Chain A
């Protein structure tokens, strides 16, 4: 993966898809639904942001595992930076969700803990906040990398269980849970699908791009001190 960081093709792809998401997402005809109306377009912005958070955390998990197996600092740098960008996307997910909720559910804040999915996402953000606090409280870099990797693997595995299993056991206002229909049944008609799937890629590639820039800055920082992290 490290040798792909400098390549240009996926960044161009991400930028093009992002432009497409925003133009097509605003322009295309959407099915008129009761209550939702035009806010249904939030599907192109709110949902991909969450997917990106989970995917970036997955990248972070893979890098943590690779760090534990190889002991190369570059994997720790990548794990930390992708987690940081994932937290940013999580915050964006909350903001877009709040904005949407203020129009459809009629309230910006009060539902925050009413819904299991939202609680799961909130717990995810808390876990990664704790992850950065843990990183901050260990001075030795090698040790910090190892302990943080162990914690993030442990926490991510449990988080995945909580996000993907618990909502299916309880009621949720989100699609696919507690008897609510998932996207595929009737929410997502085919024209929306042509924007939604590219949008997921667009956000994910953009997130990776931000993370890769941060990783490269960190690597340069190490290189300045003549430390080889690769």
Chain B
């Protein structure tokens, strides 16, 4: 997990993302002033989605050729993608937690069923982290890759967002965890599926 530590040194990027998140939430606060429950939830997820594009999607882009070559000699591709995903998962969980805190402070907290919502948040953060890690590895091989990551990953993430928002909207109305269990299990399975796919496919990208 050398990767994790070397990423951690890059704190400027992190604080940049934090600033980005803050400005989104302030924007929501002073444009909406008061949100109804449904809007609250949907805006929250959109804020998370766009934050994760900026936080995680760059993970392979910001590294120089030399550094990638250095990693290449150091570790197997499976280790590298796993380390990236693990690091990005931590970033995403922390970010969505912080986002929630800011959001509660400015907009209140209408959720009835905490367990479902928090689980959805966790699973969503993991799904975003793994998908964006993989797609940013794909995009880093192409020219003008900044926009490319978003183009390549949004269609893949749309259905995930759909399930996440469905679970969260149900959580608003105070359904219990059992109601959402099927969707949450499905999200968890999807997470595992994405990680396995990435482990199989990433070595082909890394072989430059």
Contact = CB atoms under 8 A, between A and B. Distances in A.
B159 A169 contact: no
Contacts of B186: 165, 169
Given A134-B148, A154-B197, A161-B190, A166 B156 contact: no
B201 interface: yes
B159 A120 contact: yes
Interface string B141-166: 11111001001101110110011001
Q: DSSP class of B's interface residues: helix, strand, loop or mixed?
A: helix
Given A127-B155, A130-B155, A154-B198, A137 B144 contact: yes
Contacts of A161: 190, 193
B99 interface: no
A63 to B, nearest CB: 15
Interface residues of A, number: 30
Given A147-B138, A151-B138, A154-B198, A138 B159 contact: no
A134 B143 CA distance: 9
Interface string A131-169: 001100111000100110111011101110110011001
Interface residues of B, number: 34
Nearest to B193: A161
B114 interface: no
Contacts of B156: 127, 154-155, 158-159
A134 B142 contact: yes
B155 A119 contact: no
A130 B153 CA distance: 9
Contacts of A170: 166
A88 interface: no
Contacts of B144: 137
Interface string A96-123: 0000000000000000000000011001
Given A137-B144, A166-B159, A169-B182, A151 B152 contact: yes
Given A143-B208, A166-B159, A166-B163, 19 more contacts: A127-B156, A130-B151, A130-B152, A133-B148, A134-B138, A137-B143, A138-B142, A138-B143, A146-B205, A146-B207, A147-B141, A150-B205, A153-B197, A154-B135, A155-B155, A155-B156, A157-B193, A158-B194, A165-B186
18 contacts: A68-B204, A119-B159, A119-B162, A123-B155, A123-B158, A133-B148, A134-B148, A137-B148, A138-B142, A146-B205, A147-B138, A149-B204, A151-B135, A151-B138, A159-B156, A161-B190, A169-B183, A170-B166
Interface of A: 68, 119-120, 123, 126-127, 130, 133-134, 137-139, 143, 146-147, 149-151, 153-155, 157-159, 161-162, 165-166, 169-170
